[in-house]
Amino acid sequence: MTSNASSSSLSRPRRVLLKISGESFCPENDRGVSMDSVNHLAAQIVDVAQSGVQIAVVMGGGNILRGAQFKAANSSIQEATAHYMGMLATVINGLALQDAIEAQGQPTRLMTALPMDVVAEPYIRRRAQRHLEKGRVVILAGGTGSPFVTTDTAAAQRALELEADVILKATKVDGIYSEDPKKNPNATFYSELTYEDAIRQNLRVMDSEAFAKCAEHNMPIMVFNFREPDNFKKAVQGEHVGTIVRSAKN
């Protein structure tokens, strides 16, 4: 089912996996880490966390370095090395987000799939679940700890492991379109899609492996614009924000 009409939303979740792109950590058309941008992200996360929703966060590192693009531009770097460099970039973002959230009074834990005991806890599934149950925002960095895996796939993996109710994918656009709306203003907006539609149409808001994992385990995905005020809060309150990707039977 592919739809550009309004449709029913998701039930109010108890636990969510928030996937944030690295570009959300910097100003538009810029690189690096902007604490104004990070504080904006943190304020929305704190607001939702203090309402009682359990939040795990997976972030990208594209504002600092994208492993695949770095490899393409540097022939002397092995591809696996480039991917590890990208994973380290997510840790930098995680540290910035952790301090911004805690500065607003919300406890957190930064966990990484790469051993990095001085700055973060190792990712252990049961420990992460316990932190969530205690009301801590759990920030998950380092992808899955293995190269050749995108942070979208890492988000799907962690959402399944931590028994999240939904993946909330934060983007710079209102949801999923048939084409890039910045390049084609006539692109079709989809209010709801099935996993199969998203894969078949090669809609690149998430990679096909992430969609396939979610499809196999019936993990719903909501794609929304994180820069719009209160969108994150609306999503966890059960409002239909952006695009919902789920199975046809739902």
In the three-class reduction of DSSP (H, G, I as helix; E, B as strand; rest coil), residue 211 is classed as helix
Q: Looking at residue 204, what is its pLDDT? A: 80
Per-residue pLDDT of 181-234, as tens digits, reads: 888 989 999 999 999 999 999 888 888 999 999 999 999 999 999 888 899 999
153 vs 169: CA distance, rounded Å: 12
- Give the total number of structural domains in the chain: 1
The pTM of the full predicted model, rounded to 2 decimals, is: 0.91
CATH of the domain at 239: 3.40.1160.10
Q: Looking at residue 194, what is its pLDDT? A: 94
Residue 147, pLDDT > 90, answer yes
Sheet strands side by side (includes 243-246): 2-3, 192-194, 243-246, 221-225, 166-171, 15-20, 54-59, 137-141, 108-112, 121-122
Candidates 68, 73, 36, 42; CA nearest to 55 is 42
In the three-class reduction of DSSP (H, G, I as helix; E, B as strand; rest coil), residue 245 is classed as strand
The mean pLDDT of 133-151, rounded to a whole number, is 96
- Sequence-ordered alpha helix ranges (H) in 5-57: 35-49
CA-angle at 23, arms to 19 and 28, nearest 5°? 140
- Domain residues for the domain of 31 are 2-167+174-246
